[in-house]
Amino acid sequence: MKQKTTEFLKDKFNELEDNGYTWTIRRLAGPSQTHVTVDGKKCIMLASNNYLDLANHPKLRKAAVKAVEKYGAGAGSDWSIAGTMDVHQELFDRIADFKNTESAVTFQTGFAVNAGVIPQLAGKGDILISDELNHGSIIDGVRLTKADRAIYAHSDMGELEKVLKEAAKKDYRRAIVITDGVFSMDGDIAKMDEIYKLAHEYGALTYVDDAHGEGVLGNGYGIGKEFDLEKEIDFQMGTFSKAFGGFGGMFAGDEYTVK
């Protein structure tokens, strides 16, 4: 072998740095709030997803401390073996009620939801139809499947219909239209009423990443509530790390989808 050490990683990092693909990690001294100290300098926070400042709400902080005192700092096991506590099931039930679905489950992160769930929903013989500006976790989730994939121009309903028409001509088992609810880079809102109408017309299912919609749209309930489509959207995912000020991801749908 020509390289027996990890020196190649240093070379790779230097290459990335030379091409402007690295960045400096900023360190906060204290909680994420409107005014923060970053690397010793006082700043106004404009980069956080803590929209409603719930990460610092006294009730949430007290509840977190109380939960640790009662349940400990960790579950002690995988949730499918012996790590699911009554408080977890209570959370699942409350999420389902919040999203107006039959069932719900949590993941470590929102990214893990899309990367973990999408490959379970589609495989060989299916097609996934995705907005070109969908979040990277959706893109990765789609890539992990063996399904065919089609990308439509951002929020272009004419192109979405064209893709759905072409998919309908083929013998796919199922088609799923996947979209962000609120697009994370530009902040624009998906045309969920039109997306659902087209998907329904052509027999496709709908999957919505509501990470940036929850806590903001539909009186806080998200894009389903905003468009009065809570019962119509087939698959919904979200996070606790944005407006809710916590950490983790969630997936909601009908009972057997979640199972």
141-154 in b/e burial notation, b at 16+ Cβ within 10 A? bbeebebbebbbeb
Query: Which is catalytic among the residues 88, 184, 191, 197?
Result: 184
Query: Which is catalytic among the residues 212, 225, 241, 259?
Result: 212
Q: Which helix (H) or strand (E) holds 11?
A: helix 7-18
The rounded Cα 182 to chain-centroid distance in angstroms is 11
212 in catalytic set: yes
Q: Which two tokens stand for residue 241?
A: 């790390």
57 in catalytic set: no
Distances in whole angstroms, Cα of residue 104 to Cα of each of 91, 191, 254: 9, 24, 8
Distances in whole angstroms, Cα of residue 185 to Cα of each of 5, 138, 189, 234: 39, 14, 11, 24
154 in catalytic set: no
* DSSP line for 47-109: S-S-TT-GGG-HHHHHHHHHHHHHH-SS-SS-TTTT---HHHHHHHHHHHHHHTSSEEEEES-
CA atoms within 13 Å, Cβ hemisphere of 15: 6
CA 251, CA 91: separation in Å to the nearest integer? 12
Catalytic residues: 184, 212, 242
